[in-house]
Structure 1
Amino acid sequence: MEAKPDTLTAVLWPAEPVRKRGPKPSLSRQQIIETAIEVADASGLSAVTMQLLADQLGRPKMSLYRYLPGRDELVALMADAALGAPPAAAGRGWRGRLRNWALQAWPVFLAHPWLHQVTVGPRVFGPNELGWMEVALGALDATDLTGAERLDAVALLTGHLRSMAAQRSAGPRSATDASASDDIEAQSAALMAQLLTDHADRFPLTAAAFGQAQRTGTTDQALEFGLDRILDGLGALIDRRRG
């Protein structure tokens, strides 16, 4: 069962805790979140269970519910913590600032391959995620775009980042896996090149495009290519409004 929005709001935006006398608790919500992120980074989001976390932390499973209502709330907290504090605004003009913002967000998605799964759809945003949005919207503040258009612009950029992250999410999670993945990628590329050579008469445009990309070393540039095309479109709209 999915957590209710008011429950998520309570955990993402907690009231100031009341200080209690006595010894400091041996476990904290932050420890649970950090452990859950480590598990998700290493083994995927599905590996994060309250029982596994309890085992990792050396606590009874039911003791975790003193700190968290359930797994859905935990995942929301994991996402906001994984995003981290937003970057400072940097770059020249609205385009430079937005581009820098997106390129600052990309390593975060790479570091947490599960993050693209949980930062999508209607949900309650945490303080870090709202902070990232505030920086992106700040880049567009001096433009003539409407509030809705600015939000949609940020949605386009984050959607592109999530799409690219989803393609990478099936990748390796360890150095050993990385070596094996590199081998598989090299083998696949070689086989594809041979297939396109053998069947160039059936797929002439595909064979030509792949061949040119390989010769010029311009493969695997979809992240920045897509980012720049989105910014080109926004630029055309902004210029039209000014005109």
Structure 2
Amino acid sequence: MTLEGIAEAAITIADADGLDAVSMQRVAGDLSFTKMALYRYVPGKAELVAVMTDQAIGLPPEHPGLAWREALQAWATDLFAAFEKHPWLLHSTVGRRVLGPNELTWMDRGVQALAGSGLHGGEQLDSLAVVAGHVRTIAEQSLTMPGGTTGSTEEDITSALVEVLSTEAERFPALATALQSIDGNQNQGLTFGLQRIFDGLEVLITARTSAPAGSQPA
């Protein structure tokens, strides 16, 4: 028995049945140990979830040599892939909790993409929060949770709207018109949103780097 082995057993349970299914008793049973034996390695479920979260998210992939925009795009895509692999991370990475070294490395790598951009530290962190929030929103909408809700792609949502509006177009005219102009490129919400976020950051970064010395654009 090792801490890593205990976390791996808990991750297997969470992947199959969701985070709520993880308990000290069940993990101990899957490892053929008593629950009391686990307490020699981890004091309780909260600490277990912290360890399994950090182990599951792992270290972020490296993408050296990219400009800030491409670096943040790669970071966001990798984060979505982590949520896709372990959807329960969407639940375990919210609220007050202990941050492990792997998760802190993700944050460091994201902020690193904006180093030298002209944004100060607080703006770099806020920018990363906006990007991560968009990734999380799309993941929560589209991913199927183990033992829980089934995700819906943009194509699923569009199909449902088309079905409703086939008889209710006059009641929702703007929505009906928008649906008629869809070009078939569905499931692009993640990329579309990221590019619009980056467009906004680029405006700020350009203003900041081109401003005269001593001035600070709003």
**TM-score band (shorter)?**
0.7 to 0.9
Within the alignment, does 1:165 sit opposite 2:134 as a pair? no
Question: What residue is the counterpart of 2:61 in the other structure?
Answer: 87
Q: TM-score normalised to the size of structure 2?
A: 0.87
Check conservation: 2:2, 2:41, Cα contact below 8 A. yes
The change in CA–CA distance for 1:167 and 1:122 in structure 2 (over 3 A counts) is: same
SS in 1 for 2:181: helix
Find the aligned partners of 2:115 and 2:159 in 1 and give their Cα distance. 47
Deviation at 1:233, TM superposition (A): 1.1
Tell me which residue corresponds to 2:172: 203
Change (3 A) 1:228 1:191: closer
Cα pair distance change 1:241/1:198, threshold 3 Å: same
Q: Is the 2:118–2:208 contact (alpha carbons within 8 Å) kept by the matching residues of 1?
A: yes
Counterpart of 1:206, as a letter, is L
Deviation per residue, 1:78-103 (Å, 9 max, x gap): 11111111221346311111111111
Alpha-carbon RMSD across the aligned residues, in angstroms, is 2.3
State the distance in 2 between where 1:181 and 1:114 align. 13
Cα deviation, residue 212, structure 1: 2.4
1:191–1:221 Cα change, 3 Å: closer
Give the stretch that moved more between structures: 83-92 or 51-60: 83-92
Question: Is the CA contact 1:90–1:96 (under 8 Å) kept in the aligned structure 2?
Answer: no
The equivalent residue for 1:8 is none
Unaligned runs of 5+ in 2: 211-218
Show the 5 A alignment for 1:70-85.
70-85=44-59
Distance 1:212 1:91, change over 3 A: farther
Mind listing any 5+ residue stretches in structure 1 that lack a counterpart?
Answer: 1-26
State the percentage of identical aligned residues.
Answer: 44
CA distance in 2, matches of 1:72, 1:165: 24
1:232 pairs with 2:206: no
Residue correspondences, number: 207
How far apart, CA to CA, are the structure 1 residues paired with 2:129 and 2:159?
36
Equivalents in 2 of 1:78, 1:201: separation in Å?
A: 51
- Tell me how far 1:137 sits from its aligned partner: 1.3
Aligned-residue offset at 1:47: 0.4
User: TM-score of the superposition, structure 1-length normalised?
Assistant: 0.78
Q: Equivalents in 1 of 2:197, 2:169: separation in Å?
A: 32
What amino acid sits opposite 1:231 in the alignment?
Answer: F
1:130-159 CA distances to partner (integer Å, 9 max, x unpaired)?
A: 111111111111111010000111111111
Work out the CA distance in 2 between the residues paired with 1:67 and 1:224: 41
The residue identity in structure 1 corresponding to 2:198 is L
Does the Cα contact within 8 Å between 1:87 and 1:132 map onto a contact in 2?
Answer: no
8 Å contact 1:50–1:64 — kept in the other structure? yes
Say if 2:114 is the partner of 1:140. yes
Residue identity in the other structure for 1:202: R
